[in-house]
Amino acid sequence: MNYFSIRLLRAFTKITVFSTTVLIFAGALVKSHEVGLSVPDWPTTFGKQMFAFPLSDMVGGIFYEHGHRLIASIVGFLTLTQAILFYLNKEVEPWIKKLSYFSLGIVIIQGSLGGITVLFFLPPAISIVHGVLAQTFFILTIIMAYGVSRERFLRQNLEDSPKFLLKGSIFITSMVYLQLILGAMIRHTSSGLAIPDFPTMGGLWLPDFSNQMIHNINSTLFDMNLESVSRIQVVIHFLHRLSAGIITIVVFCFFYFHLKTTNKKNISKSIWMIMLTVLVQVSLGVFTVLTERSPYITSLHVLNGAILLGLCTLLVLRTLPKNMMIFSK
């Protein structure tokens, strides 16, 4: 692979990762402002071809919804171009090429799901899958970017990381991924304020989900001029909080131990970044409740969650043994 080609591929994959991050944030803003139906038709925008819609008409909720569509189109174009570049370069490893084709399929499905959510008036199940698939695609962009990265090339001459660190990293990444699924369920079942107080829950330190607890919560929501919630919404919200606490404890206990044992700068950097991002994520989660789901705080919570998932994925890639398929020629 010549120098120009590898530089082009490395730059392009990083642009795709960044653009996907922006897209996730844009999608979060659409949901946080509850403007998913501001543009009621699809694939057109008020009867006009998407790119022909006047920028001067992008006001209010249309700004967020139509802007999200435009960014999604850019990500789709980047994904298609990236797959073509991988296909044309004979020295790109087969697994990276296959992953790029798979990612292109994911983008097509994701775009279709986005259209379905509009045409069928934001069905929760489809919206949840749409949100989770976005995070899945984000993971794929990171794997491909690392696959052609200079760091991966230089790793061929370094010792492997301890297996326990790899297993722990995979476990934590899986936990974060499941937590993001819970987060998508919260957002698309209107459970974000199903427990409106913090650190107590319905006035209790240990929730019992009794009729009295649900009554207390709904009384609080009534005073806040918000809609009442069901027991299942309260349970979903509680599971998200519980999972967040478990992840925080596991991350700090596991990674604090490995900070003392690893001598690799990139591994240590990843661990520190993950620990910091976890603290930011917990803080944003708390402020999401205390600010009664402020759109920008809530959207930053979603964005930071994606960043956390990306950092965990990167750590897994950095700790994979060189003799595994991902590092084979």
C-alpha distances in Å from residue 125, one per residue of 44, 58, 107, 111, 122: 24, 28, 18, 16, 9
Identify the residue with better confidence: 163 or 106. Answer: 106
Q: Same structural domain for residues 312 and 219?
A: yes
Helices (H) and strands (E) in the chain, counts: 10, 0
Angle between helical axes of 3-32 and 61-88 (0-180°, round to 10): 160
Q: Same structural domain for residues 142 and 216?
A: no
Angle between helical axes of 211-223 and 231-259 (0-180°, round to 10): 90
Counting the structural domains of the chain, the total is 2
Please tell me the predicted confidence (pLDDT) of residue 262.
67
Q: Same structural domain for residues 38 and 100?
A: yes
Listed range (221-225, 302-306, 307-311) with the worst mean pLDDT? 221-225
Q: Same structural domain for residues 114 and 198?
A: no
Q: What share of the chain is helix, strand, coil (3-state, %, to 5)?
A: 75, 0, 25
Domain boundary among 101, 128, 148: 148
pLDDT tens-place string over residues 91-104: 889 999 999 999 99
pLDDT tens-place string over residues 119-150: 998 889 999 999 999 999 999 999 999 999 98
Look at phi and psi of residue 200 and say left if phi exceeds 0, alpha if psi is from -120 to 50, else beta.
Answer: beta
pTM: 0.92
pLDDT tens-place string over residues 206-255: 999 999 999 999 999 999 999 999 999 999 999 999 999 999 999 999 88
Q: Specify if 316 maps to a domain.
A: yes
Q: Same structural domain for residues 91 and 135?
A: yes
Q: Which tokens hold the place of 155?
A: 């790793």
Q: Same structural domain for residues 141 and 168?
A: no
Q: How far is CA 119 from the centre of its chain?
A: 24
Q: Same structural domain for residues 186 and 317?
A: yes
Q: Same structural domain for residues 9 and 114?
A: yes
d(CA 3, CA 14): 17
Query: Is residue 63 very low, low, confident or very high in pLDDT (cuts 50, 70, 90)?
Result: very high
Q: What φ, ψ does residue 140 adopt, rounded to 5°?
A: -65, -40
Q: Specify if 153 maps to a domain.
A: no
Q: Specify if 200 maps to a domain.
A: yes
Q: Same structural domain for residues 209 and 325?
A: yes
What is the C-alpha R_g of the chain? 21
Query: Is residue 166 very low, low, confident or very high in pLDDT (cuts 50, 70, 90)?
Result: confident
- For residue 170, give the nearest of 272, 309, 310, 316 by alpha carbon: 316
Q: Same structural domain for residues 187 and 318?
A: yes
State whether residue 162 is helix, strand or coil.
coil
d(CA 79, CA 101): 9
- Tokens 């797959």: give the residue: 83
C-alpha distances in Å from residue 160, one per residue of 115, 197, 199, 231, 267: 45, 46, 42, 48, 11
C-alpha distances in Å from residue 137, one per residue of 64, 124, 141: 21, 20, 6
Q: Same structural domain for residues 326 and 285?
A: yes
Q: Specify if 317 maps to a domain.
A: yes
d(CA 201, CA 213): 9
Q: Where does residue 6 rank: exposed (0-12), middle (13-18), buried (19+ CB within 10 A)?
A: middle
For the cut 60, the answer to whether the pLDDT of residue 2 exceeds it is no
Domain boundary among 94, 129, 148: 148
Domain boundary among 125, 148, 171: 148
Contacts of 302 by beta carbon, 8 Å cutoff, 6+ apart: 24, 25, 27, 28, 32, 183, 187
Query: Is residue 268 very low, low, confident or very high in pLDDT (cuts 50, 70, 90)?
Result: confident
Q: Specify if 41 maps to a domain.
A: yes
Q: Same structural domain for residues 174 and 231?
A: yes
DSSP 182-194: HHHHHHHTT-TTS
Query: Is residue 158 very low, low, confident or very high in pLDDT (cuts 50, 70, 90)?
Result: low
Domain that holds residue 180: 158-329
Listed range (36-45, 235-244, 301-310, 319-328) with the worst mean pLDDT? 319-328
